[in-house]
Amino acid sequence: MTEVSRPHERPRRLRATPALRRLVAQTRLHPAELVLPMFVRDGITAPQPIGSMPGVLQHTPRSLVEAAREAVDAGIGGIMVFGVPRDEDKDPVGSCGLSADGVLNRALGSLRDALGDDTVLMSDLCLDEFTDHGHCGVLDDHGRVDNDATLEVYARMAVAQAAAGAHVVGPSGMMDGQVRVVREALDGAGHQDTSVLAYTAKYASACYGPFREAVASTLTGDRATYQQDPANRTESLRELRLDLAEGADMVMVKPALPYLDVLSDVAAATDVPVAAYQVSGEYAMIEAAAAQGWLDRDRMVLETLTSIRRAGARAVLTYYAVHAARLLEG
């Protein structure tokens, strides 16, 4: 009988028991690293389910506060709020997003009053929810997004959100120069302590489809002229350099799973906190596969979130934030 050569090294020894695996784990997931995106819709009297995102709701102003309290009690690190105005309140320049009486700014005020500094209150700083054309900026006479005219609106929007109570504003429109304009506007209005989370690498992804339902988007066409091309990797580092020079306190990669290589690049190139957004399409894919019995939903949730952390994210925006926090707490 042939003698079998014995291995000189045995990596399996460190996988032998759950306790050993916990001891040597290189990446740990904690509820405080998770941020819950939430939607508040004007003109509804009860929370509305979002068909393409099972379990996610468009909240009323009241139910938003209740759900936010529940999320904070679960130990998550923050919430990111998106406003959904009534159709009749949308216009070409997104005026509803600037008004103190607009759905988003009212919600931010209610959340800050209810939660104070118990969580990190983030606000989406973009026009797509508030414009009747659905683009992230103001359009010129030819129907193209006017970068510099949009910046003027972003500056006013940032101040309105900070005044309403946001700890962090997230300019997500991918306009050139947006971080500088937002930072200067905040400082000029006395909001020096309000942080800027730059959507540094936001790709023109197919993964945003369910989100468009969630915010009742009226977009026609696409956003390829301002969001990044999925074929490109290194331009994210150019965007990173610019955002840091303009005053970003944190930076983000969006979506997360299809762009883990970009996330790793960005995390390696900066010493500010890096976030990643597990977007609506990523959520919907897990939910659809789990509904068919094709995978273990809870294991997949924790595995995907761990992979995003492993790639370099310090914080993860995910619709699973509360569910994952409960899984992690046993």
Measured between alpha carbons, how far is 182 from 175 in angstroms, rounded to an integer? Answer: 11
Residue 251 located in a structural domain:
yes
CB atoms within 10 A of CB 122: 27
Q: Are 259 and 287 in contact (CB under 8 A)?
A: no
Please indicate, yes or no, if residue 15 is contained in any of the structural domains: no
Identify whether 13 is part of a domain: no
Is 189 a member of any domain?
yes
* pLDDT tens digits in sequence order for the chain, 330 residues long: 678 889 999 999 999 999 999 999 999 999 999 999 999 999 999 999 999 999 999 999 999 999 999 999 999 999 999 999 999 999 999 999 999 999 999 999 999 999 999 999 999 999 999 999 989 899 999 999 999 999 999 999 999 999 999 999 999 999 999 999 999 999 999 999 999 999 999 999 999 888 787 877 777 778 889 899 999 999 999 999 999 999 999 999 999 999 999 999 999 999 999 999 999 999 999 999 999 999 999 999 999 999 999 999 999 999 999 999 999 998
Is 18 within the bounds of a domain?
Answer: no
Domain count, the chain: 1
Position 19 scores a pLDDT of 95
Task: Give dist(CA 129, CA 140) in Å, integer.
Answer: 18
7 inside domain: no
pLDDT at 243: 98
- The answer to whether residue 123 sits within a structural domain is yes
For helices 147-164 and 178-188, what crossing angle results, to 10°?
40
Q: Which residues are catalytic?
A: 202, 254
Task: Find the domain containing 144 and state its range.
Answer: 30-328
Break the chain down into helix, strand, coil percent, rounded to 5. Answer: 45, 20, 40
Residue with tokens 């999925």: 230
Q: Report yes or no on 10 lying in a domain.
A: no
**CATH number of the CATH domain containing 220:** 3.20.20.70
Residues 6+ apart with CB under 8 A from 29: 302, 305, 306, 309, 324, 328
